A and B are shown apart, each in its own frame.
Chain A
Amino acid sequence: METVKSTERVRCGQLSSQKYRSSIRSCLAASHVMSNVSLDQKEQVATSHITYADLESVDYKYLLCGQSDGGLAIYDTSVVKEGCVYGEVGSIKGGRRGTHKYQVECVQWYPADAGLFSTSSRDKKVKIWDPNRMKLVDQFDMDCHINHHQMSPVATKHSILAVAGENGEVILCDLRTGTSTHRLTGHEGPVRATQWSPRRQHILVSSGRDRTVRMWDIRTSQAFIMALDGNHQVGENSKRAKKMKRIPHAHVGQVVSFCFTHDGLWLLTFGHDGELKLWNTSTGKKMDVRYGEMLIDSRRNLRMAVTPSMHPDLVFLPCNTKVLVVEILTGRLVNVLSGHFSTVFGALYNPSSMNLYTFGNDQNFITWTPKVFESNDFEEENWNTDLQELPKRNRVTQDNWSSDEG
């Protein structure tokens, strides 16, 4: 992709601007380098670190972080304050009344707007918060430890929180009534994570320590619709699986992370065996894509990030101390981001600023910016000081994109 040539072709109308844009974007996304922007953590206790984070999907601005001491913090990623930090919008320290007793396992913004968020912890509680007042508004008490929870990003007919319980059940909690409606049983051993399908609002996928990845339709009384089979090509449906008396395993090791692609057509799973697998979500078929061997020594839930609507689509996969950038459909390794000193817990991609955020066990939070922007940053420092007052991130994005995206 020669940028100069392509721009001219776009101007003449020979190249569709959409194609150009998406290829430039993924080109940028593939070239992330570390930036010196970090979080404003002055007021935080030094020993606590971020265990889980989520970016709201309305204007990709506010970053919600769960801390290891049970505290919570919200940062505004659109403004870079002095000292290269993102400003804190609101926070609640761990140990205060209402906060989680133990470390926060999972946080999630309410998908429709940034007026609500939910957190869960190993203290058997799921809490619903109002971010404007930073106050607890509701709380679900579970009878088991919670590993993960999620709300459907596309649901219009329900507002159900799917909670992955340590006792092997997926517990569905209805936000409207404030009670748990029903439980999906089947996993032998703890459920590690749950994900709703972004395409169909009743489809839920869960992974457990029993190495299975199951797909449920919450409307049916059936056990589950299918379980992904890592050994065979086609996913087993529940009837056949019952006959076989064995539910197929998706991976040899337990699944530490899984994620739908942005369009919901594919499911990516990452097992403790170091394999990344791509599944067709409608048939449950494993796609024949080889991603190569990756080593992973953590059994913790990891959060991987996918890029929306790019060509080719990329996945940011936390793998020990590095973050791998891989093309989803071809399996090509595009970039390796190394910067963390210890295990990376998760990666978050911001589609509007094209930044990548990662957090890990080394208590660092790193922002990665596309390379082109970074070189701009470098020069900017030599430039006039009176321009420096502008928020840096803002200006950089405007400079480069205003002419093309209009």
Chain B
Amino acid sequence: MHLFTPMNEKKDLLFILTTRYCAMILECVGDGDQLEILTRAHGNVADKIGKPCETGMIAIVDPQARCIVLRLYEGLIKVIPLDKDNNELKAYNIRVDELQIQDIEFLYGCSNPTIIIIYQDTHGRHIRTHEISLKEKEFSKMPWKQDNVEMEASTIIAVPEPYGGAIIIGQETISYFTSSTHVTVAPALIKTSTIVCYGKVDANGSRYLLGDMSGRLFMLLLDKSDDRPEALVKLELLGETSIPECLTYLDNGVVFVGSRLGDSQLVKLNTEPDASGHYVTVMQTFNNLGPIVDMVVVDLERQGQGQLVTCSGAFKEGSLRIIRNGIGIHEQASIELEGIKGMWSLSVNSPKFNNTIVLSFVGLTRVLTLSGEEVEETEIAGFVSDQQTFLSANVKYEQLLQVTGTSCRLVNESTGQLVCEWRPPEGRNISVVAANINQVVAAAGQLIYYVVIQPGTLQLEAQTTVEHEVACLDVSPLWEEEMASVVAVGLWTDISARVLALPTLEENAKEFLGGDIIPRSILMTTFEGHHYLLCAMGDGQLFYFSYASATGYLSDKKKVVLGTQPTTLRRFRSFSSTNVFACSDRPTVIYSSNHKLVFSKVNLREVTHMCPLNAEAYPNSLALATSEGITIGTIDEIQKLHIRTVPLGETPRRIGYQEETETFGVITMRVDVMGDIGLRSGGTVASIGAHSTSSAITTSSLLKPSMPPPPELGQEVETHNLLIISQNTFEVLHYHSFHLGEYALSICSTRLKDDPTVYYVVGTALVNPEESESKQGRIILFSHAEGKLQQLVSIQDESQILDRGEPKPAFGRLGKARQVVFKQLCESRSDCDDVLRPVC
């Protein structure tokens, strides 16, 4: 797909050509937010026959929008004349004698549309210009040409008026051509890498940005003073970015660096160099996973949630990316406190924000106030602090509620004084309690009490006895209700969930949950206008029902497994929707999408309690209690991919996961330059920081004759390495480099027949630069134990098996193929001369 903006009116239009030869011109209509994209013209430009171009499709638009030129097929140039009121794109072919066109561009400031071509023939690369006669549908004349430009010239930049002409960029030189003059410079800077893209900075074409394969950004200056006939071409290094694929100068020194091999970046060009002499600062990076060469699905935290580890990027952008699905919590603050049994946020004398957190421990209660970002411990006079709090909340009539094992205490918010205390009759102890701003439902054993909050008093409205002891309660008001009309109860012994009507406490519905694990938390909630009853069990299971408020029936019983530990359900609001947080060893957020409940894992280890917190310093946050302390954080938008990047600095090729040793085996490739003492690699690469290293030892005479001679000074050499990376820290534990010219092609982790040790099996091919295909390779077995990697067996493979394995990357990964091959391997290991016969 190619994008262009021709200017034929006030507004720019967009020309798009797809790989299926569909062409279209799009226009954007509207202003502000109401944008609409209209198709101005479209058509198919495919030919029935013709040889598609080797160097890809090129589409260019005349600067004065007279025509579009496409280079789709070898030996032909397709011209689409642009008429104003034609909504069908019709193209015709013009035959060109130049074959193997490298690049093509329109020249500026010509009376007829004129194209400039770099093409290659047996003698080298040449430049031609052709004037297109739109009337006669052919080339009319050739204004100028230049034979034998640089052998690797690949890119043309057409320079706008008043400079005119074109810049030709090659491997080593940059030339500026006009019809009469030409200037060539050969800066030493660009020789080490290939310039792949350019971006125009100024409209008059005096400055260009160039990006090369090693990710360096250059500024090309074209300076043409009036007193000199020839222009000056200057090149300056600006700094380092990702390896660019395209460069777009936005404005005010901001450049978008689009990258295919790494993350795209938004960089700012500074006028003054920084400490390291670079003029570039990265403002923003956009994650890019591609090109994904290989990947594995692993369950790193053993949570039943697979994660994807991909080999992404190439060269210096090479990295491992760990991708997981779920909800992210951005941690903002944390407090170290152990043994939290319950947690509630209150707003004491602050109408807008929560400023108090009530924490409950075994046998005591503590109150924290948040002032700004500071946290300090205080007391509320009416609260008891020597008992464990079961519940605490802001309730109606500017009162606070604290429920302990013995009593419900109502406290005036402004004075902090106890205004009313309600105790269950006959000295019973409250075992479970639930409340909303109007109502309190408390249970003591088999008795359930319904208490209504009045100004200054707590009034017992009803009480009832159920068959078994109450395990959990909920009295959340349903959708848009002031007072809750039902109370949800979970019972011991018969393991049932019941819905009782208020205020009579009559049983509306009963549902047996089965099993012998008690319900630990029950919650009535409304998602997208539907009422649900959620009931979490002590073993991490969750039952959910839909609840019809009109009839009071429960239906559609469903079960999901959220974790393995007792689960607590808490409701919170995020982005104006209701969500439920299930606190357990695998914290989960439950929400509804398209009238279906969605369970989404949170990227936290274990959460025991949770309460929503809307403090001044932490707006719309969640306070999460873990076994170690409290974490305050904000929650991401629901259901997002989480990507973690482990930069390697070299191209990852293959990845294999070994569960037993908790490691990844990654095959990487990097280009080293032969230095004075040995191989030297540029930049920071992961291999250097390895804990231990080893390199291949020639074990067989078979290898020796095919070994390439040692490289000359300054020559670039590709080396292949095996990195053993820890799954927890993603540190490189071990680094093994293969022979020069030995290409590691596949890796897998396996166990041989009866042998308990696990091995990394690496298949390699020996590449001889003179041969088009490699004829031999090796299978090497590594075992990784105690941070050490041992090369155990290396088997010569004369029968080209790995080479054939190479077009099919699955070789050695196919379970069947592997087992059959290695069973044989195992048997033949005892006798020294291994005869490896591929069986499948």
Contact = CB atoms under 8 A, between A and B. Distances in A.
Contact of A263 (B50, B54, B261, B772): B50
Interface stretch (B68-76, B301-309, B399-407, B547-555): B68-76
Contacts of B800: 375
Contacts of B37: none
Contacts of B745: 4
A309 B75 CA distance: 12
Interface string A284-313: 000000000000000000000000110101
B48 interface: yes
B157 to A, nearest CB: 22
Interface string B98-142: 010000000000000000000000100000000000000000000
Contacts of B97: 280
Most buried by B among A3, A282, A376, A404: A3
A5 interface: yes
B756 interface: no
A12 B261 contact: yes
A11 B293 CA distance: 6
A154 B49 CA distance: 9
Nearest to A332: B122
A330 B100 CA distance: 12
A262 interface: yes
B99 A329 contact: yes
Contact of A198 (B49, B799, B803): B49
A154 B50 CA distance: 12
B273 interface: no
B291 A12 contact: yes
Nearest to B770: A2
Given A11-B291, A13-B290, A384-B840, A3 B261 contact: no
A265 interface: yes
Contact of A403 (B54, B290, B807, B840): B807
B692 to A, nearest CB: 27
Given A14-B314, A265-B95, A399 B808 contact: yes
A311 B56 CA distance: 13
Contacts of B653: 8
Contacts of A27: 772
B743 interface: yes
Contacts of B261: 12-13
Given A8-B653, A14-B314, A19 B743 contact: no
A12 B293 contact: yes
Contacts of B48: 154
A384 B51 contact: no
A90 B839 CA distance: 39
Nearest to B245: A13
Interface in B30-47: none
Interface string B724-738: 000000000000000
A1 interface: yes
Contacts of A330: 122
A329 B837 CA distance: 44
A58 to B, nearest CB: 14
Contacts of B52: 18, 309
A379 B838 CA distance: 10
A1 B772 contact: yes
Nearest to B811: A403
B777 to A, nearest CB: 10
B772 A7 contact: no
A404 B772 contact: no
B765 A384 contact: no
Contacts of B51: 262-263, 308-309, 313
A264 to B, nearest CB: 6
A267 B677 CA distance: 57
Contacts of A280: 95, 97
Contacts of B95: 265, 280, 282
Contacts of B49: 154, 198-199, 262-264
Interface in A316-346: 329-330
Contacts of B205: none
B260 interface: yes
B442 to A, nearest CB: 65
Nearest to B809: A403
Nearest to A265: B75
B767 A2 contact: yes
B774 interface: yes
B769 interface: yes
Interface string A9-41: 001111010110010000100000000000000
A8 B669 contact: yes
A384 B837 CA distance: 11
A104 to B, nearest CB: 28
Interface residues of B, number: 48
B774 A4 contact: yes
Interface string B63-92: 000000000011110000000000000000
Nearest to A331: B122
Nearest to B74: A263
B712 interface: no
Given A13-B260, A13-B291, A282-B95, A2 B807 contact: no
Most buried by A among B74, B810, B838: B74
A1 B767 CA distance: 12
Contacts of A19: 54-55
A370 to B, nearest CB: 12
Contact of A4 (B73, B99, B806): B806
A388 interface: no
B526 interface: no
Most buried by B among A16, A263, A372: A263
Interface string A364-406: 0000000010011001001110000000000000011011100
B631 interface: no
A404 B152 CA distance: 28
B345 interface: no
Nearest to A260: B49
Contacts of B314: 12, 14
Contacts of A265: 74-76, 95
Contacts of B840: 384
A329 B120 CA distance: 12
Interface in A192-213: 198-199
Interface in B612-634: none
A144 B288 CA distance: 71
Contacts of B799: 379
Contacts of B774: 3-4
A264 B50 CA distance: 8
A403 B804 CA distance: 12
B773 interface: yes
A309 B799 CA distance: 33
B408 to A, nearest CB: 67
Contact of A384 (B772, B803, B808, B839): B839
Most buried by B among A4, A22, A265, A282: A4
A5 B54 contact: no
Nearest to B292: A11
A19 B102 CA distance: 13
Nearest to B93: A199
Contacts of A12: 261, 291, 293, 314, 651
Interface in A61-101: none
Interface string A246-272: 000000000000000011110000000
B773 A3 contact: yes
Given A309-B51, A403-B808, 15 more contacts: A3-B773, A8-B293, A12-B314, A19-B55, A264-B49, A265-B74, A265-B95, A280-B97, A383-B839, A384-B839, A384-B840, A399-B808, A400-B807, A403-B807, A404-B807
Interface of A: 1-5, 7-8, 11-14, 16, 18-19, 22, 27, 154, 198-199, 262-265, 280, 282, 308-309, 311, 313, 329-330, 372, 375-376, 379, 382-384, 399-400, 402-404
The 10 A-B residue pairs with the shortest CB-CB distance in the complex, in nearest-first order:
A12-B314, A265-B75, A13-B291, A263-B50, A309-B51, A263-B51, A12-B291, A3-B773, A403-B808, A19-B54
